[in-house]
């Protein structure tokens, strides 16, 4: 359950997003405000609408985990996000399953763990690794992410426009504080789910495997189209109103 109500992820086990990277002296808060104001003042031909949530700000401490030994074939991305001392989210992602007009489709599994006394639940995190990863992992770099999210709705689907500023925390090997040297800024348009429910159990059972696969492909294609529509509007605002030069990655 979220502030948006119950969302059902129609594209099971996958994350659909489009990501832009940019360089600017402006802080993420002012960029988020600029995008939000433009979306509020000039709806783009009624294509999608802002949800009455406003701009959500969050601070996330992100830790990456990697193999003890280097293995090029290991391409999964594993991160642990700590949301302002409330909960930890273990995210296991594959590389992009495929890209369609620069929209990424990734396999993703996410596990939420509550904090205990404001401390990262290391034992529970390692238990998830052991259940899902066949290789031993070690803790890698840690990042601090300041993120602002704008929620929009297109038909029954919910998306977020996330403006984030990511800084690398202190390097553990030599003790240098390199937080000021590495700062990444990103805008991500990401599909979150849909407010419509699933098919009734009886109807789902009647459908053959081929029909289900075909229906899922159709849904995924529609979500990709919607992701691109929202992304295009964000690009227009950044280039014309905020004078930001965005690079799609």
Q: Which of 66-80, 127-141, 161-175, 189-203 has the highest mean pLDDT?
A: 127-141
Over residues 196-215, the mean pLDDT reads 60
Q: What percent of the chain has pLDDT over 90?
A: 40
Q: For 174-195, write each residue's pLDDT tens digit.
A: 555 544 555 778 999 999 999 8
Architecture per CATH, 14-248 = Beta Barrel (2.40)
152 with 44: CB under 8 angstroms?
no
178 or 92, which is more confident: 92
95 with 159: CB under 8 angstroms?
no
88 with 115: CB under 8 angstroms?
yes
What's residue 207's pLDDT? 59
Over residues 112-124, the mean pLDDT reads 84
Reading the block at residue 203, the tokens are 């109807």
Q: In angstroms, rounded to a whole number, what is the distance separating the alpha carbons of residues 162 and 146?
A: 10
134 with 202: CB under 8 angstroms?
no
What's residue 170's pLDDT? 67
Instruction: For residue 138, give the 3-state DSSP assignment.
Output: strand
pLDDT band at 236; cut points 50, 70, 90 = very high
Kindly list the domain boundaries of the chain, sorted by start residue. Answer: 14-248
Q: For 100-111, write each residue's pLDDT tens digit.
A: 888 999 888 989
What's residue 60's pLDDT? 92
Instruction: For residue 10, give the 3-state DSSP assignment.
Output: coil
pTM (predicted TM-score): 0.84
Q: Which residues pair with 83 in a beta bridge?
A: 60, 87
Do β-strands 183-194 and 157-168 pair in parallel, antiparallel, or remain unpaired? antiparallel
What's residue 44's pLDDT? 64
For 45-54, 121-130, 158-167, 192-201, which range has the lowest pLDDT when averaged over its residues? 192-201
Closest CA to 192 of 13, 53, 16, 59: 16
Q: In angstroms, rounded to a whole number, what is the distance separating the alpha carbons of residues 152 and 39?
A: 10
Backbone φ and ψ for 239, nearest 5 degrees, come out as: -75, -40
Element (H, E) at 15: strand 14-22
pLDDT band at 147; cut points 50, 70, 90 = very high
Q: In angstroms, rounded to a whole number, what is the distance separating the alpha carbons of residues 192 and 166?
A: 21
What's residue 191's pLDDT? 94
Q: Which residues pair with 25 in a beta bridge?
A: none
Longest dimension (CA), the chain: 61
127 or 77, which is more confident: 127
Backbone φ and ψ for 11, nearest 5 degrees, come out as: -100, 85
Backbone φ and ψ for 90, nearest 5 degrees, come out as: -90, 120
Q: For 5-36, write each residue's pLDDT tens digit.
A: 788 888 888 889 999 988 888 899 999 999 99
What's residue 118's pLDDT? 72
pLDDT band at 172; cut points 50, 70, 90 = low
Locus of tokens 């990511």? 166
């Amino acid at each position: 359950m979220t502030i948006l109500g119950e969302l059902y992820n129609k594209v099971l086990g996958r994350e659909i997003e489009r990501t832009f990277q940019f360089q600017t002296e402006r802080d993420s808060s002012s960029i988020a405000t600029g995008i939000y104001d433009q979306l509020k003042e000039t709806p783009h031909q009624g294509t999608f609408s802002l949800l009455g949530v406003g701009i959500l700000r969050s601070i996330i401490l992100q830790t990456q985990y990697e193999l003890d030994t280097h293995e090029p074939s290991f391409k999964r991305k594993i991160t642990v996000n700590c949301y302002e001392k409330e909960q930890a989210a273990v995210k296991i992602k594959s590389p992009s399953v495929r890209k369609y007009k620069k929209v990424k489709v990734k396999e993703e599994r996410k596990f939420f763990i509550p904090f205990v006394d404001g401390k990262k639940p290391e034992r529970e995190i390692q238990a998830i690794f052991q259940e899902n990863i066949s290789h031993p992992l070690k803790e890698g770099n840690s990042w601090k992410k300041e993120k602002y999210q704008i929620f929009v709705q297109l038909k029954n689907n919910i998306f977020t426009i996330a403006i984030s500023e990511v800084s690398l925390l202190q390097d553990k090997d030599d003790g240098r504080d390199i937080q000021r040297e590495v700062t990444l800024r990103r805008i991500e348009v990401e599909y979150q789910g849909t407010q419509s429910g699933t098919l009734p159990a009886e109807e789902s059972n009647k459908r053959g495997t081929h029909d289900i696969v075909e229906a899922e492909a159709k849904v995924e294609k529609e979500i990709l189209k919607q992701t691109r529509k929202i992304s295009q509007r964000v690009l227009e605002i950044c280039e014309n109103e905020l004078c930001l030069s965005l690079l799609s990655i």
